[in-house]
C-alpha cells in the first residue's frame, strides 16, 4: 500500500491494520509486515492496541534513529540532559534516545524484540514472522545514518 505522497508519516499502521483484517478473513496464515521509522510510529503507534486486541497477524518493524529525519547521538543527548532544560535545549527533530517501543507491544500481549546488531535483527525478524501473535521489532540505527541513493528514478520523482 502506498500513501501517495512524499513525506507522509504515520499511515503505515493504519494500512497494516486494514490489510491484516483482510488477511485474517480471506488469507489465513498470511502475515502483514509494516515498516516505519520511529517518528512515523509516533503518529499512530497506539493502534498496536487494536492490533493486539484483535490478535491480528501483523509484524511492525521500527527503524529507530532517535529522531525525525536524523536524531542525535547518545553523547550529544547526554550533553543536552546535563544542560538542565530538555525542552529548551533538545533539537526540535530529536526524540528520546533508545525508546523501547517493543515494550508497548508486550504490554498489550504481543511479542516485542529489541535489536542493536545484525544477528539480533536476523533472529528477531525470524521469530516475529513465525510467531502467532502481533509483534514489533525495534531496530536501533545510527542517528546520523543517511539514506541510500535511489537506484530507480520512479522512487524519487512525483507525478504531481
CB 65 within 8 A of CB 141: yes
How buried is residue 157: exposed, middle or buried, by Cβ count under 10 Å (0-12/13-18/19+)?
exposed
Higher pLDDT: 67 or 141? It is 141
CB 136 within 8 A of CB 62: yes
Chain-centre distance of CA 151, in angstroms?
24
- pLDDT tens, 10-69? 788 999 999 999 999 999 999 999 999 898 898 899 999 999 999 999 999 999 988 776
- List of domains in the chain: 30-145 (3.40.50.970)
pTM of the model: 0.82
Q: Which three cell numbers stand for residue 158?
A: 512525483
Amino acid at each position: 500500500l502506498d500513501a501517495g505522497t512524499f513525506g507522509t508519516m504515520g499511515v503505515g499502521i493504519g494500512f497494516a491494520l486494514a490489510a491484516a483484517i483482510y488477511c485474517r478473513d480471506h488469507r489465513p496464515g498470511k502475515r502483514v509486515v509494516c515498516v516505519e521509522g520511529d517518528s512515523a510510529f509516533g503518529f499512530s503507534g497506539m493502534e498496536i492496541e487494536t492490533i493486539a486486541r484483535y490478535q491480528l497477524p501483523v509484524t511492525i518493524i521500527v527503524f529507530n534513529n532517535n529522531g525525525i529525519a536524523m536524531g542525535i547521538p547518545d553523547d550529544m543527548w547526554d550533553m543536552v540532559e546535563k544542560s538542565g532544560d530538555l525542552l529548551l535545549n533538545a533539537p526540535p527533530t530529536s526524540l528520546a534516545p533508545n525508546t523501547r517501543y517493543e515494550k508497548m507491544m508486550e504490554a498489550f500481549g504481543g511479542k516485542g524484540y529489541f535489536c542493536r546488531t545484525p544477528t539480533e535483527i536476523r533472529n528477531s525478524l525470524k521469530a516475529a514472522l513465525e510467531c502467532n501473535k502481533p509483534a514489533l521489532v525495534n531496530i536501533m540505527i545510527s542517528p546520523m545514518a543517511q539514506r541510500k541513493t535511489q537506484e530507480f528514478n520512479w522512487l524519487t520523482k512525483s507525478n504531481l
